[in-house]
Structure 1
Amino acid sequence: MKPLWGAALLLLLCAAACAQENSCICQKNKRVTNCQLVNGACRCDSVGSSASVDCSTLTSKCLLMKAEMKGSKSGRREKPKDAFEDTDGLYDPECENTGNFKAKQCNGTTCWCVNTAGVRRTDKHGADLKCSQLVRTVWIIIEMKHAERNTPLHSDALERSFKELITRRYMLDGRYISSVLYEEPYITIDLKQNSSERSSSNVDIADVAYYFEKDVKGDSIFHDNVLNVTIDNERLHFEKTVVYYVDEIAPEFSMKSLTPGLIAVIVVVIIAIVAGIVVLVLTRRRKGKYVKAEVKEMNEMHRGLNA
């Protein structure tokens, strides 16, 4: 029996050694498990789904959101008319086998339509909602506000640094970086990518924006690679980051989707306008009365002098 136990133990040790040799670390996504070398490439299972992840490129935003839900407890430039923010935040999305978002997303009996960035672009409805297509996000605007500085940044150096950062760290082809603008203290990065321009080998601007936003907010998706933005040998710190989305087709929001806070602001503005009109009318009426009184008094004085 002892030789058999020895042989079994030897086999277990060999298997463990082989597994160790075939294991790998997904440098571009820490929200994975069961990482193995397959034909020299590191592939892992995305947390929260059975989808296989290619660690040589960025993971889709949809799979990243599912993984995050699994581990969770719960002087500015004018924006384009149809640009909108992600006001819903994190939710547990439904993903296609390719990792893309499904056009229709639901939370119980409440459903809504999303774009390719997974951001809600319609009001919330019942389960019978129809989303005929997954509308592509063609333009993403990333707006950041840097911490207070003694001197403004150099625009040229800032543009070069961010373009190099996005192409190197997030693997985005430079032609999709439309512009990097600086209006102290705001930095605005425009990413534009039409469906006809993007090939299967190109990363999606929605995935790039998600990775970038997480990096800037100190919640990097990369395994062990904290973002360090340095301009002119000085590290840059950010106070606020907002992402806006522009789709091929304009979003379909109604007044019902306005938040109570925004409605309150609108009501206050309307009341202020009405109050201003009332004051103006009353002022003009009083002025008219004063003019009539002055004319009457002058006529009486004139008659008194002629008497």
Structure 2
Amino acid sequence: MTYKNHKCEELVETYWVRIQLTHKPVTTPLNAPNLKAAIADAIHKRYDNFNKDMVEEVQYDPDARLIVVDVKKPMGERKSDLTNMAYYMEKDVKMLPLFKNQDKFEPTVGSQKLEMENILVYYVDEKAPTFTTDRASGGVFDPQTLSLTLVLAACCFTILQVSN
């Protein structure tokens, strides 16, 4: 696969998706221990019976209204598509649903629906990206190469932070 002057030598599978969700203010405090089950259930129902067991960890910061969800599948598993699930969730949260059913991604924690206001998704592939500087001349990059390099560097930095 190529995009202009960039080549993709090998297609790799995403095995881990980290989703950062910010929810709208709630009237009563959330029961944090029930949050993981609520998120897993909402993913399962909204995204084609997605396997709840892949929701590995959910962290919650009530002051920031921030939920961090780690969804992982075993390396080498090709049946589940984490990238599609995360893509559609991002559209749902940003009020651009792509399904005929225009419902939003709203987990129910206890009796309280949790409406999301922001989402940020990080994708981690089975194989780390590789970079070459074949096109760099004298330390100067063209704008496309520079922006791609910055995005990939940010992803690698995020992956390193996550693994530590």
Whether the TM-score (by the shorter chain) exceeds 0.5 is: yes
What is the CA distance between 1:151 and its match in structure 2?
A: 4.6
Residue 67 of structure 2 corresponds to residue 192 of structure 1: no
Select 2:125's aligned residue among 247, 257, 264.
247
Structure 1 CA distance for aligned equivalents of residues 87 and 98 of structure 2: 9
User: What does 1:13-32 align with in structure 2 at a 5 Å threshold?
Assistant: none
What residue is the counterpart of 1:163 in the other structure? 40
Return structure 1 stretches of 4+ with deviation > 6 angstroms.
none
Which string of whole-angstrom CA distances, capped at 9 and with x for unpartnered residues, describes residues 71-126 of structure 1?
xxxxxxxxxxxxxxxxxxxxxxxxxxxxxxxxx242xxx2xxxxxxxxxxxxxxx2
> Which structure exhibits the higher relative contact order, with contacts defined as CA atoms closer than 8 Å and separated by 6 or more residues?
2
What is the CA distance between 1:196 and its match in structure 2?
A: 2.5
Distance 1:148 1:250, change over 3 A: same
Q: Give ranges in structure 2 of 5+ residues lacking alignment.
A: 134-140, 155-164
- 8 Å CA contact retained: 2:17, 2:72: yes
What is the CA distance between 1:238 and its match in structure 2?
A: 2.1
Which string of whole-angstrom CA distances, capped at 9 and with x for unpartnered residues, describes residues 14-43 of structure 1?
xxxxxxxxxxxxxxxxxxxxxxxxxxxxxx
- 8 Å CA contact retained: 2:26, 2:114: no
Q: Amino acid of the residue matched to residue 56 of structure 2?
A: S
What residue is the counterpart of 1:175 in the other structure? 53
Distance 1:156 1:247, change over 3 A: same
Structure 2 CA distance for aligned equivalents of residues 150 and 175 of structure 1: 29
What residue is the counterpart of 1:139 in the other structure? 16
RMSD: 2.6
- 8 Å CA contact retained: 2:21, 2:120: yes
Select 2:88's aligned residue among 187, 194, 211.
211
- 8 Å CA contact retained: 1:172, 1:205: no
Q: Which has the larger radius of gyration?
A: 1
How many residues align structurally?
Answer: 134
Which string of whole-angstrom CA distances, capped at 9 and with x for unpartnered residues, describes residues 203-243 of structure 1?
31111111111111111121024124332322322232100
- 8 Å CA contact retained: 1:135, 1:247: yes
Q: Which has the higher strand share?
A: 2
SS of residue matched to 1:258: helix
What is the CA distance between 1:195 and its match in structure 2?
A: 4.5
Which string of whole-angstrom CA distances, capped at 9 and with x for unpartnered residues, describes residues 175-220 of structure 1?
322122212211111111235234xxx3311111111111111111
SS of residue matched to 2:17: strand
Structure 2 CA distance for aligned equivalents of residues 132 and 105 of structure 1: 8
Structure 2 CA distance for aligned equivalents of residues 232 and 163 of structure 1: 14
Distance 1:211 1:164, change over 3 A: same
What is the CA distance between 1:252 and its match in structure 2?
A: 3.7
What residue is the counterpart of 1:258 in the other structure? 150
SS of residue matched to 1:191: strand
Structure 2 CA distance for aligned equivalents of residues 131 and 137 of structure 1: 15
- 8 Å CA contact retained: 2:44, 2:52: yes
What residue is the counterpart of 1:32 in the other structure? none
TM-score computed with the length of structure 2 as normaliser: 0.68
SS of residue matched to 1:144: strand
TM-score computed with the length of structure 1 as normaliser: 0.39
